[in-house]
Every structure is written in structure tokens, then in C-alpha cells.
Amino acid sequence: MTEPVAIVGGGPAGMAAALALHRQGVACEILDARPRGAAAGDKRILALAHGSRLTLEWLGAWDGIPHSIIHTIHVSHRGGLGRTRIEAREEGVPALGYVLAAGELATRLDAAVAAAGIPFRDNTPVAAGQQPAASLVVWAEGTVDAADAVLRDYGQHAVICTATPRQPHGGTAWERFTPQGPVAVLPYGRELAVVLTCRADESAGVAALDDRAFLSLLQSRFGRRVAFAAATPRHVFPLGLRYRADPVGPRTVWIGNAAQTLHPVGGQGFNLALRDIFELARCLTDAADPGAPEVLARYAGARKTDRRATIGFTDSLVRVFSNDVPLLHHARGAGLLALDLVPPLRSFLARRMMFGARGW
């Protein structure tokens, strides 16, 4: 009998992977350096695609999570014509996405892990490069650190907060592209979750502005489709692209931020991780040896198209839309106009964002 799969990391990605493997009959255990329950303190706000909700339902970890529904996504760019709206009803789904606190998701996943009886060894650090005794080690924590890693510094930081709108948001999420970087505004209860991208050398100053000055800056960057009345204290996070060219190694798989860290534009990071987890569980089902080279090669091959497409899509959005080059400015407007006028093109984009490459 092979030893259980060891999952290093007890955050949302690690716990989701454990539940997926358990559901498919693959013995596994979680090893986490922190005390159990630490992930519940994660203050990030996640935007989950409809496909991710279906995966969490499959894992038995969706019911009871407080969330806000995205019915409409409005995409525009500052200083030019062209915008598009993507509607859930056009795609025949109850919602395009869901906005929730990462800590709330972690709490629900932890409860599901406990209910399934999956061993969770907390206060158990595993050093990078250390290989626990296991048929397969799934690294689900840490950042990308590999010789074959692809790195890109966008020179941007995210200034994150929640804001109070003067009018109800109606379940609309806005993605506004500006020369300084994108501004994402997401429904979050009665509030709005705000991700304001700034130049790295300006972010600390922006975060430190008093509320009145910050709201004025946010309003000028975002435009007048939403009026902001108040904002919570701001937090700053560096942005960049880091990903492993190959997400597998000898008896090793990397998932989540250990495999790729993406710019938050489009909200694809954790959604991509859940699609990786779903496929990993499928590939390990009934495998006599989960860490066998042919099993891991099959997983890497199955994820190649979606992984490349999602990373490339996110990277292209940042580089094409975060500048003020006149030719690109006109091309962006034309592209948004085409999305608005050609429903099949708009639907293709929507379903790729909801389900990845398997959406078509």
C-alpha cells in the first residue's frame, strides 16, 4: 500500500486539494506550519467564478459561506470610447461570480476537512526542498521559487479597501482600465471591494491619504458610474507574475500560489487553482502509485492549455491596458466595442472566465 499523499499547506488551496483527493478515494494528509484555523484570519476578498462555485459544491464546502452575487460585469477604459457588459442571464447561469472573504472560505473548508476525517497536522513546518515521506507531495503554500520560474515585475502595487456606494450596486462588478493600471470594484454585501492599482513608488502615499483625498483620487480614476461615499483603511500588496514553467517534478506537484501567482485583474488566481485541483484529483483516481511519472505527466498535459491561456490572458490584460500608447488606446476601444456588438465573442470570454478552457 502506498503512503498517503502529503499536502503541504493548510490554506484554502491545500484544504480544497485534500477534499478533492478524499472524494476520489485518494488517501491524503495536510501538513501546515501554522496552528490549525490560522487561515480563517485571511483578510483578502476573493472573486470566485461560477465554475469555482460548482467545484466547491462538489467538495461539500459551499453551503453556509456568506457571499455576494455578481450578475453583471462592466468593462471600460478611461479616456476613450468602447465598453462592454457581460450578463449572467445571457450565459444561462444564476451568477457570473461570487465575492467572499478568504477567511470565511477557509473556515468552511476546514469544517469540511474535519467532517471528512482527513488528518491535519498543524504546527508542522516543512522546509522548501524537504520531501516528506509520501507517495506524492502536493505543495500548496509559499511562492514560486524555481530555476524554471517565469517572473515579471509590473511595477505596480494594489491598494485594497472596501468602500460605501451612494447608490445600491445591483450586483454589478466593474473593471476599469487606466494608464496607471486597472481598478476593480466588486459587490461585497452592501459595500464594494476596491482594488486600485498604482505605480509601485506611489502606492504607500495613496494608501496613506486621508479618506477625503483617497475617495477623490478613486473617483477620478474610476469615473462617475459609481459614487463613493466612504472607505475603510487601505492595505498595499505588490503585484507581479510568477509561475513555474512545469507544475510537476519527481513525486511533486505545485498548486495555487506555489505554482503561479497572477495579477488580480480578471480575478483568475484562485479560480485557476481550483481547476488545477479538480484535474489533479481526476488524474490520481485509481492510480496505483499517485506519484508515478506517467500519472504526473498526464496531469501536467491535461492542465497545459488552460493554465497557459489563463496566465497569458491575465498578463496581456495588464500589459495592453496599463499604458497610454495612442495606437493601443484605440485598439482597446475597438476591442471592447467588438465584445459589445458580437454576442458569441462576449459569450466566449465569459465562459472562459467562468470555466477555463473546459468551458468550450
The partner residues of 185 in beta bridges, in order of sequence, read 174, 194
Domain count, the chain: 1
Nearest-angstrom CA–CA distance, 310 and 357: 8
- Give me the CATH number covering residue 244: 3.50.50.60
**pLDDT value at residue 317:** 73
Q: What is the mean pLDDT of residues 322-332?
A: 50
In a domain, 83, yes or no: no
In a domain, 55, yes or no: yes
H-helix or E-strand spanning residue 216: helix 211-222
In a domain, 199, yes or no: no
Nearest-angstrom CA–CA distance, 6 and 29: 5
**pLDDT value at residue 344:** 57
Q: Which domain holds residue 135?
A: 5-70+95-148+240-322
Q: Per residue in 100-127, pLDDT tens?
A: 999 999 999 999 999 999 999 999 999 8
Q: Per residue in 217-270, pLDDT tens?
A: 999 999 989 999 999 999 998 888 899 999 999 999 999 999 998 887 767 889
| Low-confidence winner among 74-83, 152-161, 285-294, 301-310 (lowest mean pLDDT) | 74-83
In a domain, 57, yes or no: yes
In a domain, 59, yes or no: yes
* Contact assessment for residue 88 and residue 347, using Cβ atoms and an 8 Å cutoff: no
